[in-house]
Structure 1
Amino acid sequence: MITSPYPDETIPDVSVFDFLFADLSEDDAGRTAIVDGTSGAETIFGDLRRGIESLAGALAARAIGTGDVVALHSPNIPAFATVFHGILRSGATATTVNALYTAEEIETQLRDSGAVFLFTVGALAEPALAAAAAVGLSPERVVVLDGRDGHAGLADLLGEGHDAPVVDIDPATHVAVMPYSSGTTGYPKGVRLSHRNLVANVVQTYPLLDVESTDVVLAVLPFFHIYGMTVLLDIALKRRATLVTMPRFDLARFLELIQTHGCTYLFIAPPIAVALAKHPLVAEYDLGTVRAIFSGAAPADAGLMGAVAERVGARVRQGYGMSEASPVTHAGRPDRDDLSLGSIGVPVANTEVRLVDIETGADIDVPTEGISEPGEVWVRGPQVMLGYLGREDATRETVDEEGWLHTGDIGTVGAQGEFYIVDRLKELIKYKGYQVAPAELEALLLTHPDIVDAAVVGAPDADGQEIPKAFVVQREGAALDAATVEAFVAEHVAPHKKVRAVEFIETVPKSASGKILRKDLRG
């Protein structure tokens, strides 16, 4: 077993709201918490806390609280923080919905989570309202944050003036949030994360993600994703840093916001790292205020990370985690410039890690020199989820009886205790940091009348980043082409799930039990 080089932290036994705001000082209450990257409007911490409590009161007035699930479907805007934490403050559970989802995908999540209320925004309202109608949510149960005829807006709810309710929950067992994850395989499942899970993960990262009150953090990674939710929203709020929101990524706008607001800390995913390293536009902006860049959501190699560090002139580190771990389990040490930039770092505080040989089941230890043999990464700690919603079978497959989360990722460990992700045991595809479940796309492809079998795997693009690639067996006499297949999939899924390469084959390779042999297709 491998432990963190950092001593255990004390995890407060409190709700997320109390953890973030109970100790808000008078001075900090007047500090800027969030800047709207689109309009420039600023929200101070005191107003944010009051808005959260008013939103919780409005939900309570509608008899929504402990035991209820509320869906939040929004890009990164300041209102997200008010609504997200207002849901948690009310005692309800927040299920965050990908802002790019189609009506079909939103409906699936609303139905599976049992959501009784939905928040959305005008720009995303069409698919959201269609999904809400499909699951039987009345217009009174759908709030369009920026206003829409027939629906209340956020200003309406806050203007009602209700006090926040008294809520009695057990932080260790009460489900605070339920993002959806594909786990190691299969369809997206509701990941039940407690208040303690979320509080613990913020505290565990203190020594590694050294955000300070003087930092200005650019929030481009989506808050609806667990990475943005914990690492951006909660860590920045707890450390009293200033968040600058960005609803969607556009490189020119990204660079402009850094320059205009003097952003100091950037949390990114590998596709943004590629742009920072290679795109000529970067040279046109002053990024001199940036002191730290942290990449997660998918692995990036040392060469790419080194190129980013050199071009921007900032400290660069990587980390690792998954929704099932709230999400951070590893992060690069800020005090160790000698460790490889290709490393995902060391276990965060309060975290145990095992590297398990997938053939023998034996533990692989930290070597005295060089890099270890590969094994599956298992983690255990207070950030590990309660389980999947209504999926005890999948929970047991992912978290064993001793509390070890089997990540499905193959890693190695170096002599300094630093970890590397080298392969994937799980079938999940990571496209630009978003999860794509092959089984979901395969089931969709098989609904096409001219496709008799299909398999989907992750394949590298020109920049070495993973994309979904479909291998298709077409009906005899059919005349499909790649563009037709790609267009068919695109009609039904969010952009990150699109098939971006198609290869036609005679048969899909399968094991004797009928399992698709994806390694054979990856070549």
Structure 2
Amino acid sequence: MDLRTQMRRAAGYFADREAIVHGTRRLTYGEAWTRGVRLANALAELGLKPGERIATLEKNSVEAVDIYLAAAIGNFIRVPLYARNRRESHAQMIGNTGARLAIVDEALLPELAGLDAELPDLQRIVVRDKDYEGWLAAASDRDPDPPVRPEQYCVIRHTGGTTGKPKGVAYSHRNWLAICASFLEPAPKAQLGDAVLHTGPLSHASGFMFSPFWAVGGRNVMIDAFEPLSFLATLDKEEIGYGFVAPTMLNAIVAQPAAYGRRFPKLKALMIGSAPLSERTALKSAEVFGAAAMHSAYGQTEALVVAAMGPKDWFARIEGSAPLRAVGRPLADTEIEIRDPDGRVLGPNEEGEIVVRVATRQMDGFWNDPAETEKRLVDGWVRTGDVGTIDGNGFLYLLDRVNDMIISGGFNIYPAELENVIQDHPKVQAAAVFGIPHPKWGETPLAMVVVAPGTELAEQEIIDLVAERLGSMKKPSKVVVTTEPLPLSNVGKVLRSKLREPYWAGQERRISGA
């Protein structure tokens, strides 16, 4: 099976059913598919050939669906870019993949303007402006029907780039379909008419949930941006059954008194990923949405999804385990090991790097980057760069990124562990912990804590909370209380590196020695 065949079949089966919702715009399967066919033909008229790359930069919209469908229909390789990214990152993604065309929302054009003159392979930037609909309507509505093989590439997604240049991971049609299906592995089966809410752009993790719902005759509902109460209102109004949310979104929702006491009878599964979720936020989220809707998934661009769990595991009391702090258990076809720096496999509850192997859902390597591929893909296993443990019952615990670990006086301190504890404080909306220089210990943790305007929170409260829960060795030496939101990457992860940088100004290294 390939993505084009799967989506074309559904377009025929469900031609008159509602497929796409964005604001006041609603399209049937037949209408959306015809737009996709027209765009595929219009891009071919510009010289784009099957197997060539097209970069896309957009927010959620009907037009974003156009290119999602058109790339599959024309057998083009879609290269999603991330809005509000640095121009240098856009150039790197486009240049590294050799994209021939780019298509961009008019509002986002300044992020790409002029790159067609700077990058040798980029021939043209197509702008979705006032002339877009006329250009689309003038194209043929005859399906071009190029040959497609399951092993051919259909998408190149890039890593978040929080620790260097973003790296491209190419997915074949076979990989893509397997990954999309794995996002719903722990959830109730999607059925005809079920609605999925895309809070983030289709270029992000939410995009993996588009084709599974298209395939079964569901509705893909998109919103422009996340706002807690608006999100809850959309769940109700559109009778949403499924959605993907980042922990930062749940933190914002549970902080709203108006979030409680509602009912969402159609909601079957909220998939939660991208970063660990604190115990307090998990329990508060269960109050808002009902525990039955809570599902966790873990993976990364290089290997998706590798561990997951539903509410029966997440909120269970299991001897020898703490599921509330876990990200899931390995999926049935997935191997997960914890290894030390020398590659030795560690036992239960020992901390080390998470390495994974799953034949159908992991990268073959980074696009055009053999050196980085050699570092991260070892004997068929993907080194995730994440630190974690697996307990005797198979629960996987994500402690942090290897690169974010703080070494203080010879002890390893994982920021995420402190963040989860700090976020249990009722006055805390979000927290980020990172290492700063210390003359005696080399490094020491600093906690950046976000509270609501007008909230008073003493630094010592946070220090004492961490010392009580994790021990004095791991307590932060400094706490900064702010009402400003934390900087986030394009995939919703806190940019600790951006917060850390001012404290290391003038230092030769970003890791200090005692």
TM range (shorter): 0.7 to 0.9
**Which of 317, 325, 345 is the aligned partner of 1:363?**
345
Partners of 1:353 and 1:88 in 2: how far apart?
A: 32
How many Å apart are 1:236 and its aligned residue? 2.4
Aligned length: 437
**Which of 388, 396, 400 is the aligned partner of 2:374?**
396
Letter in 2 for 1:220: T
Partners of 2:237 and 2:71 in 1: how far apart?
A: 32
1:421-462 Cα offsets, whole Å, 9 max, x none, are 123224599xxxxxxxxxxxxxxxxxxxxxxxxxxx999595
Match of 1:215 in 2: 194
Match of 2:15 in 1: 29
Match of 1:156 in 2: 135
Matched ranges for 1:31-46 at <5 A: 31-36=17-22, 38=23, 40-46=24-30
How many Å apart are 1:154 and its aligned residue? 4.7
Partners of 2:491 and 2:236 in 1: how far apart?
A: 31
Partners of 1:195 and 1:342 in 2: how far apart?
A: 34
Match of 1:420 in 2: 397
Q: 1:51 to 1:272 in 2, by over 3 A?
A: same
| Contact 1:216-1:264 within 8 A present in 2 as well | yes
**Which of 210, 234, 240 is the aligned partner of 2:211?**
234
Match of 2:335 in 1: 352
How many Å apart are 1:404 and its aligned residue? 0.8
Match of 1:16 in 2: 3
Letter in 2 for 1:82: D
Q: 1:188 to 1:471 in 2, by over 3 A?
A: farther
Matched ranges for 1:432-451 at <5 A: none
Matched ranges for 1:132-211 at <5 A: 132-135=116-119, 141-145=124-128, 147-148=129-130, 152-172=131-151, 174-182=152-160, 185-210=163-188, 211=190
Match of 1:257 in 2: 234
How many Å apart are 1:323 and its aligned residue? 0.9
Matched ranges for 1:74-85 at <5 A: 74-85=58-69
How many Å apart are 1:124 and its aligned residue? 1.3
Partners of 2:81 and 2:90 in 1: how far apart?
A: 7
Match of 1:270 in 2: 247
Partners of 2:127 and 2:434 in 1: how far apart?
A: 33
Matched ranges for 1:305-316 at <5 A: 305-315=282-292, 316=294
- TM-score w.r.t. the length of structure 1 is 0.74
Match of 1:243 in 2: 220
How many Å apart are 1:218 and its aligned residue? 1.4
**Which of 100, 103, 112 is the aligned partner of 1:116?**
100
Match of 1:342 in 2: 325
| Contact 1:184-1:426 within 8 A present in 2 as well | no
The 3-state SS of whatever aligns with 1:247 is: coil
How many Å apart are 1:494 and its aligned residue? 12
How many Å apart are 1:93 and its aligned residue? 1.1
How many Å apart are 1:360 and its aligned residue? 5.2
- TM-score w.r.t. the length of structure 2 is 0.75
| Contact 2:274-2:491 within 8 A present in 1 as well | no
Match of 1:64 in 2: 48
| Contact 1:181-1:189 within 8 A present in 2 as well | yes
**Which of 307, 313, 331 is the aligned partner of 2:308?**
331
Letter in 1 for 2:104: T
The 3-state SS of whatever aligns with 2:302 is: helix
Match of 1:508 in 2: 507
The 3-state SS of whatever aligns with 1:388 is: coil
Partners of 1:517 and 1:73 in 2: how far apart?
A: 35
How many Å apart are 1:85 and its aligned residue? 2.6
Partners of 1:468 and 1:41 in 2: how far apart?
A: 44
Partners of 2:431 and 2:351 in 1: how far apart?
A: 21
Partners of 2:311 and 2:146 in 1: how far apart?
A: 38
Partners of 2:161 and 2:88 in 1: how far apart?
A: 21
| Contact 1:469-1:502 within 8 A present in 2 as well | no
Match of 1:409 in 2: 386
Match of 2:81 in 1: 97
Letter in 2 for 1:50: T
Match of 1:442 in 2: none
Unaligned runs of 5+ in 2: 318-322, 407-414, 423-427, 439-486
4+ residue runs over 6 A deviation: 467-472, 493-496
Q: 1:71 to 1:469 in 2, by over 3 A?
A: farther
The 3-state SS of whatever aligns with 1:202 is: helix
Partners of 1:92 and 1:387 in 2: how far apart?
A: 20
The 3-state SS of whatever aligns with 1:51 is: helix
Q: Percent of aligned pairs with the same residue? A: 23
Unaligned runs of 5+ in 1: 1-13, 430-456, 473-489, 511-515
The 3-state SS of whatever aligns with 2:150 is: coil
1:302 maps to 2:279: yes
Match of 1:318 in 2: 296
